[in-house]
A and B are shown apart, each in its own frame.
Chain A
Amino acid sequence: MSEQITQAAPPIPQTHVAPPGRLKRALGGSVGRNLGLVIAFALLFLVGTLTAGDRFASFDNFVTIIRFASIVGVVCVGMTFVITAGGIDLSVGSVVGLSSVVASLTAVQLASAQSSWLLIVVVALAVGTLAGFVNGVVIAYGGVVAFMATLAMLVGARGLAELISNRSTQIVNNQGFLDFFRADLLGVPILIWIFVVVAVAGWVLLNRTTFGRRTVAVGGNAEASRLAGIKVKRHMVYVYMLSGLTAGIAGVMFLGRTTVGTSTHGTLLELDVIAAVVVGGTLLIGGRGTIVGSVLGILIFSTLTNVFTQNNLSISVQNVAKGVIIVAAVLLQQRFASRGSRSK
């Protein structure tokens, strides 16, 4: 009956509203959200090639860029989940340091010498996950604001790492461990492989599983999720544990690359991580997250550093440029995103 009515009315919407074309739809979708990043990436590439030529545009240099991004990139994957779920984790940098210190303790190294070098890895991951668990419980069940809870962990974990290591640098002497991280696979360093595996696993987890769906739902509307029967608090704990786990992985990667464990590993890492994730298009208020965006975000930062280093520009100049890029990329993202999803 009402169908008749809508047909009887003059067909205004059909004639005057341009149908959302494929391009427009694409711009509103994931391509659009990442378009700003791709443009920024292309520009950087162009600048790099023009200013540094073959020194920039070579396979070896690309490997350098990605390897530089790999450790921070792994943490970005975990952070993407936390931010998508509507949280924030400021403690990741300190947790990286703490896990590298605990995993390189003399006792752990002795035990690993008698069993397997994998013990070092397991210990680091366990420390990271435990720190995430503490964060999650304090936030979800204690009701402490995520910003404050993880700020406390940032300070506390760094202090704990200093206490445990007595502020000294602990050298890793497990040959199996060192050999593994020194190795290449198909001409690509193992650190990059770890980054790739974590990123792919993170993408699948966020986009293809019930865990990912819960993460987006809780970040999009926690109360609606709770009333729909999702265990919101428990899920938030899992999400922070995941972030801690990736910080633990990054701790292992630091150990492998530098061959030492120290409380200074990962200092200020959280800033790069959060910047890359948000520049990548994950909404800081939660409810929308993109692993692809986060990966592109961190690659842009490491490419930027590389281009500037190739041109012998100082860290200070780099930081200014980084700040500009963060704002520009976020502005671009918002333009594309609002063009795609504006309802009226």
Chain B
Amino acid sequence: MITVDHFAPLLEVRGLRKSFAGVKALQGVDLVVRPGEVHCVLGQNGAGKSTLIKTLSGAYQPDSGEIFWQGNPVTIGGPVAALELGIATMYQELDVVDGLTIAENVFLGHEQATGGLLHVASANARTEQILSRLGHGEISPRMEVGQLSAANKQIVSMARALSWDTRLIIMDEPSAVLDSQEVENLFRVVAELTAQGIAVVYISHRLAEIRRIGDRITVIKDGKSTANGLSVSDTSTPELIRLMTGRDVTNVFPAATPIAADAPVVLACDRLGVRGVFSNISLEVRAGEVVGLAGLVGSGRSEILEAIYGARRSTSGTVSVNGTVLRAGSVEAAVGAGIGLSPEERKSQGLILDEPIFKNVTLSSFGRFARGGFLNERRERQAAREQIEALELRPADPDLVTRTLSGGNQQKILLARWLVHGTAVLLLDEPTRGVDVGARAEIYGLIRRLAEAGTAIIVVSSEIDEVLGLADRVLVISDGEVLTTTDSNEIDESGVLDLVMRGSAA
């Protein structure tokens, strides 16, 4: 099965198995990583990618299976053992300590000290070296990490990996928190690492990225590796989707139906502004229309949604729904007028993870299921069940704890919340972040169906192809200003990027 080649494998994993309390997370995973390659691991949520990573980084111990490191059998007894071998992991939830400086973070856990006294100067100097190796010599190692952007925190995380004698870096969805420009920089850094012979195991849901930087691919489905070491250039995207999901996904984005000429304007923003963030945003969304906001992180796109929703107080201009002007800075007024928001950070801003599905679905409307303050949970559960069945959330059990669900299912809960509430305007911020390929197509379909039912929708996403694929009309935003408004089929991804780059340079 394993092809002989002149590259001796750096890491070889055979028949890895791991169960948790009877649930088989891994049931036979093989993985061969060569030095200096970018090896992509693909799989839907729940396929076992996280368990694999945690096993390789020493966080979990496998039940059975073999791990060879540079040809020798090893057991990875704990996180430090992994680091000492030369395996470093960059987790999706950035594991940096905000209150410490960059250098302190980089040497966290293996501080350079004599008799408990820290060598601050040498730690700073070594950190500076590593940062410039990563192409970020301009960042001072004395800066506090809390002041850094998500992209720079990631650089710190990578610098920490390199502060050990690392041969292999595992990156778990590193691009999820970055905008397109920052992703470019990440790719550059990855290229530099691999040029130095360091191997990268790269995990992402974005197939376009894998196509750009990946050398070989291993696909995991239901805890088993279904394809090993496929060459990226020889494998088509439909083939990859089929390997991951077990089915053919032909068209990811559903076709848009034309909007009736007499469709009424539901949401109107008139010269809306938040001092210091954006100004003079005017836009109209008609019933059944999907409007996309494209722009970099920090361009003001999420802030615009928040201002429309009242979660951020606007300092100028107005928002109106069906002609009625809303009170500024009031979420209650927005919700009352029929605006719903699916926030960017689903877990921290959208859901109560330890509560059952139905309580999350009715979070905006439970008052309606009460008489004199007393709740009728039976009716609440029933209403939630109807919506989650309509959204094909599986299993459609309203009593399941939300934390246990996949990203796609959690996104469906947020959509269900606003369906139960009955919204006229839906604001979707990053509706597919952390959602796998199969579930994405479903969510796109649901958004389309909602539009067809007459909902006015605004979509924000860092993935430009997603904005273009979903929206009827696109507003390109940079530095809190609308650069252009155009039909989504009259502009392509490079056109948007071009505008955005020029806009932020100006």
Contacts and interface: CB of A to CB of B under 8 A. Distances in A.
B325 interface: no
Contact of B375 (A1, A213, A223, A341): A213
A223 B349 contact: yes
Nearest to B341: A227
Nearest to A1: B247
B272 interface: no
A226 B343 CA distance: 11
A22 interface: no
Nearest to A28: B401
Contacts of A13: 23
Interface stretch (A4-12, A119-127, A192-200): A4-12
Given A12-B24, A16-B22, A342-B21, A209 B375 contact: yes
A41 B27 CA distance: 44
25 contacts: A9-B246, A12-B24, A12-B222, A208-B375, A209-B370, A209-B373, A210-B366, A212-B375, A216-B352, A216-B355, A217-B363, A220-B352, A221-B348, A221-B351, A224-B348, A224-B350, A224-B352, A227-B331, A227-B350, A228-B363, A229-B331, A287-B352, A287-B355, A341-B354, A344-B404
A224 B350 CA distance: 5
Given A16-B22, A16-B24, A211-B373, A225 B355 contact: no
Most chain A beta-carbon neighbours within 10 Å: one of B25, B351, B355, B363: B363
Contacts of A212: 375
Contacts of A9: 222, 246
A221 B375 contact: no
Contacts of B367: 210
Contact of A229 (B245, B335, B349, B373): B335
Contact of B352 (A221, A231, A343): A221
A246 to B, nearest CB: 19
B332 interface: yes
A226 B311 contact: yes
B25 A344 contact: yes
Contacts of A209: 370, 373-375
B375 A2 contact: no
A217 B27 contact: no
Main secondary structure of the interface of A (DSSP, over half): helix
B14 to A, nearest CB: 20
A231 B335 CA distance: 12
Contacts of B404: 343-344
B375 A18 contact: no
Closest 7 CB pairs of A and B: A229-B335, A220-B352, A228-B363, A343-B404, A228-B364, A221-B352, A344-B20
Given A223-B348, A344-B21, 4 more contacts: A209-B374, A217-B359, A229-B331, A287-B352
A288 interface: yes
Interface in A214-251: 216-217, 220-221, 223-231
Interface in B1-38: 20-25, 27
Interface string B371-389: 0011100000000000000
Interface string A173-188: 0000000000000000
B327 interface: no
Contacts of A344: 20-21, 23, 25, 404
B441 to A, nearest CB: 10
B151 interface: no
A272 B498 CA distance: 64
A220 B22 contact: no
A208 B22 contact: no
Contacts of B334: 229
Contacts of B359: 213, 217
Contacts of B22: 16-18
A91 B245 CA distance: 56
B306 to A, nearest CB: 9
Contacts of B374: 208-210
Interface string B292-325: 0000000000000000010100000000000000
Contacts of A225: 352, 363
A224 B222 contact: no
Interface residues of B, number: 42
Contacts of B21: 342, 344
B126 interface: no
Interface in A323-344: 341-344
A100 to B, nearest CB: 31
A220 B355 contact: yes
A210 B373 CA distance: 5
Contacts of B355: 216-217, 220, 287
Contacts of A16: 22, 24
B354 A288 contact: yes
A341 B417 contact: no
A194 to B, nearest CB: 23
Most chain B beta-carbon neighbours within 10 Å: one of A1, A223, A288: A223
Nearest to A343: B404
A9 B374 CA distance: 45
Interface string B25-54: 101000000000000000000000000000
Nearest to B222: A9
B417 A228 contact: yes
A216 to B, nearest CB: 7
B206 interface: no
Contacts of B336: 229
Nearest to B19: A16
A39 B245 CA distance: 48
Contacts of A5: 245-247
A342 B118 CA distance: 40
A208 B334 CA distance: 27
A18 B23 CA distance: 9
Nearest to A342: B21
B311 A227 contact: yes
Nearest to A209: B373
A226 B373 CA distance: 19
A208 B245 CA distance: 42
Nearest to B349: A223
B445 to A, nearest CB: 12
Nearest to A216: B355
B27 A12 contact: yes
Interface in A148-199: none
Contacts of A216: 352, 355
B480 interface: no
A341 B21 CA distance: 12
B353 interface: yes
B39 to A, nearest CB: 25
Contacts of B351: 221, 224
Interface string A58-95: 00000000000000000000000000000000000000
Contacts of A213: 359, 366, 375
Contacts of B20: 342, 344
Nearest to A230: B363
A217 B349 CA distance: 12
A13 B223 CA distance: 11
A224 B363 contact: yes
B449 interface: no
Contacts of A288: 354
A208 B366 CA distance: 12
Nearest to B348: A223
Contacts of A223: 348-349
B403 interface: yes
Interface string A16-46: 1110000000000000000000000000000
Contact of A2 (B222, B417, B438): B438
A210 B375 contact: yes
A227 B335 CA distance: 9
